[in-house]
Structure 1
Amino acid sequence: MLSDWELWACANQVLKTHGENAPLHVAEQIGALALAQDEAGIATWKAIAKRVAELMGKDRPTRLQ
């Protein structure tokens, strides 16, 4: 698992690279890792997702209705 600092750095880079599409990118990464049954990777990207949401000013992920 990455350190807290590294997770924040990853989240920041994802936002810089993908902008408003950052949550979609994170979801795609988690989906690919789920298909590969990579539990450690899934946990890492979920931690990044939490930080991306915080950086975007969202307390929790937006639900599609």
Structure 2
Amino acid sequence: MIEDREIWACAHQLMRQYGDVAWLHAAQRADELLASGDHEGHRVWMRILKHIEDLEKLEPEGRLQ
């Protein structure tokens, strides 16, 4: 299982890379993995998505600088 700090790091990187649409990238990836039958990968990306949502709540503009 992937540790929580790695999930936070992935979420943070996606926020830097995709800004306000990081959540969309994570959600699409989760959907792709579920459609391909990769349930563990889907769970990981859903965790990343949750952490992105948490980070957006911390940042007034939803972006990390």
Q: Structure 1 length normalisation: TM-score?
A: 0.83
Counterpart residue number, 2:40: 40
By percentage of residues, which structure has more helix? 2
Counterpart residue number, 2:17: 17
- Percentage of matched positions with identical amino acids: 34
Tell me how many residue pairs correspond in the alignment: 58
Q: Structure 2 length normalisation: TM-score?
A: 0.83
Counterpart residue number, 2:4: 4
Runs of 4+ in 1 over 6 A off after TM superposition: none
Which 5+ residue runs of structure 2 have no aligned equivalent? 59-65
Name the Cα RMSD after superposition.
1.2
Structure 1 Cα separation of the partners of residues 57 and 24 of structure 2: 16
Structure 2 Cα separation of the partners of residues 2 and 14 of structure 1: 17
Which 5+ residue runs of structure 1 have no aligned equivalent? 59-65
